[in-house]
Each structure stands twice: as structure tokens, then as C-alpha cells.
Amino acid sequence: MKNLFPVDRLRELPTPYYYYDMELLGQTLSEINKQIREYGNYHVHYAVKANANPHILSYINKCGLGADCVSGGEIEAALKSGFPADKIVFAGVGKADWEINLGLEKDIFCFNIESAEELSVINDLAGEKNKTARIAIRVNPDIDAHTHHYITTGLNENKFGIDLSLLDKMIELSERLPNVRLEGLHFHIGSQILNAEPYIELCKRINDIQQSLLRKRIKLNFINVGGGLGINYDNPERQPIPDFTRYFGIFNKYLELQEQQSLHFELGRSIVGQCGTLFSKVLYVKEGVNKSFVILDAGMTDLIRPALYQAYHKIENLTSSLKGRIYDVVGPICESSDCFGKDIELPETKRGDLIAIRSAGAYGEIMASRYNCRSIPKSYFSDDLSE
């Protein structure tokens, strides 16, 4: 356990902070590139919402991926980190005019459309600039991803995308509007998906949709199947890099792409999730009547997933080798939900011990807040500490 991190160096840094294993990130990106080279017409856009740290973004850009953005701020961050505009896709149910105008001015690859009114607004704004916006219509395929209800996005009742029954009307509208050009369809059924079945069902649903469109002589340049591939939160050492061979193989086997049609992915968590760790030190060990509490200097302001989603993260004490005990591991925030884990077995823990909260590279630092007037945690990188 301890050999995974340069513990002596990490103990010297003021906690709480994020630490990123750049070697693991590089290995993950190399595996993705190796897999998509097998198919030629596969393209991966990194989901910037997972982690927008500039060092992380610049590294991912250098490895050749595009960017999947859900705000104007993310487009700006991607451009600043070197991502070419023609490899940026822009999704989101509530695109403000300035965000749309930014995408138009930079000539991004595609807008993923989520409503008829949005489509009309983009057409009008593109017309004002004498431009044609490339679009993909986001379709809800009504597939249950069997994940937490907060991160399930492909069902009919979700706020994202359009109902499949409305697709024909959306296509007809796009054909009537002079300043948009329909290039593809976009799908995203949820996050932290570990079961292959939802992806297989998605492929079959897309095949049916495409056959229906072909009968109407509608042919699209690309299909975007979103992302959502999960990671192993229970045992990050067992599978630090997701099984991308299996993941891309599912789409190669079950999705019937048309001639010259490309396939696009929007992966986030599976790229950066395992390379990030939140480090914290123990402030106090509080003995209750029936429970013992490890109180950390990190809290829900630094990593909100356990409070927001009841998400599990593996918690490790890196500086104690004493006999194990059971603790609730909590933070200092004035909220009862500020808890990283209940009934967690750790070596007997004392004030000053260094605690690692694993698999925090995705939706960790990016969701940090200043609630209770706390500071945003700093970030450190293995390639810097190794010097």
C-alpha cells in the first residue's frame, strides 16, 4: 500500500491537497490511443467536467484527445490548454447566448442539441455571424444504466436530450433552418457504468434509429455514444486502468456504423478517476459511546461525492501499521453529511496520521467549494515531486 506513494515527500505538504499520479494517467491515455487506433474511425473527447486542472488538461491534449465541454468556461479552459477548436464538442441543456457565440466564433466541432428552442436560438445566433453551426441531436434512448439516479441520464424523464418520439420533428426542424447543419446523433445514458448490457442495448437502439433514418434517406456523418465507463472504487490497485479493450470492443461488435461514419466517445471518469488521490491529516480521534470518529482536515468542500451521491472511496491510513479498528471517517464541516465513510476499518489511527482517499481524480477537485470560507485544496503532481 505505502509503496504506491512517496509518503515521506507527501507528509511534508500542507493538507488537504490533491495528488495526481501522472505516470498512471499517461498509461491510461496510451491504452485508449492503442485501442482506438485499432478501429481508425473512433475519436475520444475528454469530458472536461471530470477534472479541469490545467496541468491535467494540457497533458490530455498532448496525448491527442479532443474535449467534451458543458459550459463556455470549459470551452475557454480547453482552448487555453491547447485543445484544437475542431476537436471540441459542446453539450448541456442550458447553453447561454454568450456560450453559443463563443462556440460559433471559435468554430468548434459540434453543438450537441438538447431542445427545439435551443436549436432555433443557435440558428439565429449563427445567422447573425453569417455562419453555419454543426450540430448533433441528443436523443434519450430510454435505457436504464443501472447506476445512481443522480447520474442516470438516458431515461425518458431526464432533463437531458429529447425523447426518441420527437426525433423526426427535430430533424425536420434542423432541415428547415438555414444556419445549422445536422451532422450526427448524440447519446449519453449515465455514469459509472460497469455492466456491458446497457451499452449493448444502446448499440441496438442506435442501429434501429439509423435504419429508420436510412429509409428516409437521412445519412449522418457521425454517432456520439457519450461516455459513462466506470472505475473500480473498491479496489483501485486491482484495476487502475479500466478495461478499454472490452469497452471499445462492445461498440465494434454491436454497433452497425455506416460507410465513412465515425464514432465519438466522451470519456471522463475512466481517464482521470484513478490517478487522483485526496490527502488529509487526522485532526482528532473522537471516542463516542458506540462509535469512534476519525476527524480529518479534509471535508465535503474538498470531495463532495460521498455527501452528494453516498459514493464510496477507499480510505487508507498511510502512516500507521497498528492493529485495525472500526471508525467513522468524517470532516470538519458543520454539516452532518460531511462524512467520507462509516464503519471503515483502518489501522489504529492517531492525530497527525496521513490519510489517502483514493480514486478522487474525477469529480473531486473540480467540485470543491469554499463553503465555511475554506480554501480550495492545492494540487501536486508526481512528475513534479519526483524531481
Domain count for the chain, please give it.
2
CA pair distance 29, 55, nearest whole angstrom? 15
Residue 260 is predicted with a pLDDT of 93
Distance set, CA 165 to CA 8, 139, 141, 217 (Å): 59, 9, 10, 18
What gap in Å lies between CA 42 and CA 280, rounded to an integer?
Answer: 40
Contacts of 346 (CB under 8 A, 6+ apart): 294, 315, 316, 317, 320, 324, 325, 327, 329
Domain of 368: which CATH number?
A: 2.40.37.10
Residues sharing a CB contact under 8 Å with residue 7, sequence separation 6 or more, in sequence order: 318, 319, 354
The CA distance from 108 to 85, in Å, is 5
34, 203, 211 from 215: Cα distances, Å: 36, 19, 6
Per residue in 139-173, pLDDT (tens digit) is: 999 886 554 444 444 445 567 899 999 999 999 99
**Beta-sheet pairing, 315-317 with 88-90:** unpaired
Helix 72-80, helix 54-62: angle, nearest 10: 60
Distance CA 99, CA 148 (A): 29
DSSP structure class, residue 134: E
Kindly state whether residues 204 and 340 are assigned to the same domain: no
Q: Within this chain, do residues 230 and 96 fall inside the same structural domain, yes or no?
A: yes
- The answer to whether residues 136 and 111 belong to one domain is yes
Q: Please work out, in degrees rounded to the nearest 5, the angle formed at the alpha carbon of residue 176 by the alpha carbons of 129 and 123.
A: 25
- Within this chain, do residues 146 and 279 fall inside the same structural domain, yes or no? no
Kindly report whether the peptide bond that precedes residue 16 is cis, defined as omega within 30 degrees of 0. Answer: yes
- Are residues 39 and 130 both part of a single domain? yes
- What local confidence, expressed as pLDDT, does residue 159 receive? 79
Domain boundary among 238, 272, 306: 272
In angstroms, the CA 174 to CA 35 distance is: 34
Round to whole Å and give the CA distance between 21 and 279.
Answer: 13
Which helix (H) or strand (E) is 223 found in, with range?
strand 222-224
| Domain shared by 158 and 205, yes or no | yes
- In terms of residue numbers, what domain contains 314? 2-16+274-385
Domain boundary among 272, 291, 314: 272
pLDDT at 1: 37
Q: Tell whether 344 and 287 lie within a shared domain.
A: yes
* Predicted local distance difference test score (pLDDT) of residue 158: 67
Tell me, rounded to whole angstroms, the distance of Cα 347 from its chain centroid. 32
The reply to whether 261 and 303 lie within a common domain is no
Q: At residue 377, what are phi and psi to the nearest 5 degrees?
A: -65, 145
Residues of the chain falling short of pLDDT 50: 1-2, 147-155
Long-range contacts of 233-236 (CB under 8 A, 24+ apart): 233/311, 233/312, 233/313, 233/314, 233/358, 233/359, 234/312, 234/314, 235/314, 236/274, 236/314, 236/358, 236/359
Claim to verify: residue 279 and residue 347 sit in the same structural domain: yes
CATH number of the CATH domain containing 208: 3.20.20.10
Q: Would you give the DSSP letter of residue 317?
A: E
d(CA 67, CA 89): 6
pTM of the prediction? Answer: 0.94
pLDDT for 150 equals 45
Q: In terms of C-beta distances under 8 Å and separation of at least 24 residues, what long-range contacts does 215-222 make, across chains too?
A: 218/171, 219/258, 220/182, 220/183, 220/184, 220/185, 220/258, 220/261, 221/183, 221/184, 221/260, 221/261, 221/262, 222/136, 222/183, 222/184, 222/261, 222/262, 222/263, 222/264
The answer to whether the CB of 279 falls within 8 A of the CB of 10 is yes
Indicate if 103 and 211 belong to the same structural domain: yes
Residue 242 pLDDT: 97
Q: 378, 349, 276: which is closest to 14 by C-alpha? A: 378
State which of 272, 306, 330 marks the end of a domain.
272
Q: Do 125 and 41 share a domain, yes or no?
A: yes
pLDDT at 385: 78
260, 312: one domain = no
Question: 22-37 vs 54-62: helix axis angle to the nearest 10?
Answer: 30
Determine the Cα–Cα distance for residues 110 and 103; give it in Å rounded to an integer.
9
In this structure, which amino acid lies at residue 123? N
